[in-house]
Amino acid sequence: LFDRLEAQPADSLIALIALAEADPRPTKIDVGVGVYRDSDGNTPILRAVKKAERILEQVQTTKSYIGSQGDARFTQLIGEIVFGPNHDPNIVGLQTPGGCGALRIGADLIARAGGDIRIFVGQPTWPNHAPLIGTAGVPMVDYRYYDRATHRIDFDAMMESLKGARRGDVVLLHGCCHNPTGADLDADQWRAIADLVAARGLIPFVDLAYQGLGNGLEPDAAGTRLVVQAAEQALVAQSCDKNFGIYRERTGNLFIKASSPAQAEVAFGNLIGLARTMWSMPPDHGAAVARIVLEDPDLRADWHAELTDMCARIRRIRARLAAADPRLAYIGGEHGMFSMLPLTPDQVIGLRASHGIYMAPSGRFNVVGLSDDSVDRFAAAVLEAMDG
């Protein structure tokens, strides 16, 4: 059996983290890592999360099974943050192991529905999208999203591709904080996509993994709400792993919007069945903690304050990079933790050797991998590499 398996290439980002850790230079800079870091270089446990964990330890009386839907109250509270308090009653959701679980079960639901459906996926996108969606067996069609030369969304090309979508085709969209580019659709562009989705009967599948880390919780949900409202049917893969800083707790939701209550019930039943075949039930801890935070006004306010601080740090570092040189100015207008630098893989390797700067070969870097002290040094090294 196992002798018939082929060796797999190592995950390049995980290999990069190990390389950065092994580098003895005190001046090294790790901007390859995919998590939030504070100005001391730590990925802290949020105060509100710590307090909620202490409460959970006191009030939890059983570790018995929770069911395939997960923590329904948690899903309801997150649904209100994503879609607003009085959202469409045909939106239903279930808890998933992180945003990855939500993307995977969403793709499986689409595959199960059958019917020659294709998923349109922007390029570039988060490298895990294709494996997660492809494993479900739904054919993917690429659309052009970002032009590296101009650092702008190639919106005309995107719309042109989407006009080739058939009724019932699915369009994968990043709700905010686009990974890897940081280039988010503006309000007019979201409106144009919402109009197209409505006119052509397309199904948006929004990946909302960073709500609150771009412009704040409400503004970061605006595009998602617009397209979900415009569409008759939609899916949203949501993650709490970044905005609660609970990455390893694997906490997220898949929401779907159906055309009617009866259809929502059937779709939900199918999701429960799919969950049974993959993880049976999602892990409880992260969802229970997030629920406690959201149900307690003081903890909720503190979470919000910490999220606002994280968001402000991201924006501050972006502004400093943008001010360093006109060639980096575009970074100031982008959102979330990631942006792409106009570097070749060789230039990226050169930066590693000469300056101990670690980033993905694509030139994607995590802006909060930088501390207040390392921003100027990083900008100077990147500009030097661009000139060389």
- Residues designated as active site: 126, 207, 209, 242
- Residue 46 sits in the site that holds ligand PLP (CB under 6 A): no
Handedness of CA 300, 304, 307, 313 (dihedral sign): negative
Q: Please identify, using beta-carbon distances, which residue of 161 and 243 lies nearer to ligand PLP.
A: 243
User: Residue 172, interface with ligand PLP (CB under 6 A)?
Assistant: no
Which segment (79-87, 92-100, 281-289, 379-387) binds ligand PLP by CB under 6 A? 92-100
Torsion of CA 92, 45, 212, 378, to 10 degrees: -140
Residues 314, 38 contacting (CB under 8 angstroms): no
- When the beta carbons of 241 and 306 are compared against ligand PLP, the nearer one is 241
Shortest Å, Cβ 83 to ligand PLP: 18
- Residue pair 56/50 in contact by the 8 Å Cβ criterion: no
Residue choice 179, 224, 339, 374 for contact with ligand PLP (CB under 6 A) = 179
Helix/strand number for the chain, H first, E second? 13, 13
Residues 217-256: x where in contact with ligand PLP by CB under 6 A, - otherwise, as a string = ----------------------x-x-----x----x----
What lies within 8 Å, CB to CB, of 202 at 6+ separation is 162, 165, 167, 168, 169, 170, 171, 196, 231
What is d(CA 277, CA 271) in angstroms, rounded to the nearest whole number?
10
Strands 252-257 and 91-96 turn out to be antiparallel
State which of residues 20, 29, 33, 34 lies at the interface with ligand PLP (CB under 6 A). 34
Q: Segment contacting ligand PLP (CB under 6 A): 94-102, 153-161, 227-235, 367-375?
A: 94-102
Binding of ligand PLP at residue 93 (CB under 6 A)? no
Is there binding between residue 100 and ligand PLP (CB under 6 A)?
Answer: yes
Q: Are 340 and 148 in contact (CB under 8 A)?
A: yes
DSSP label of 24: -
Give yes or no for residue 286 binding ligand PLP (CB under 6 A). no
**Binding residues for ligand PLP (CB under 6 A):** 34, 98-100, 126, 179, 207, 209, 239, 241, 247, 252
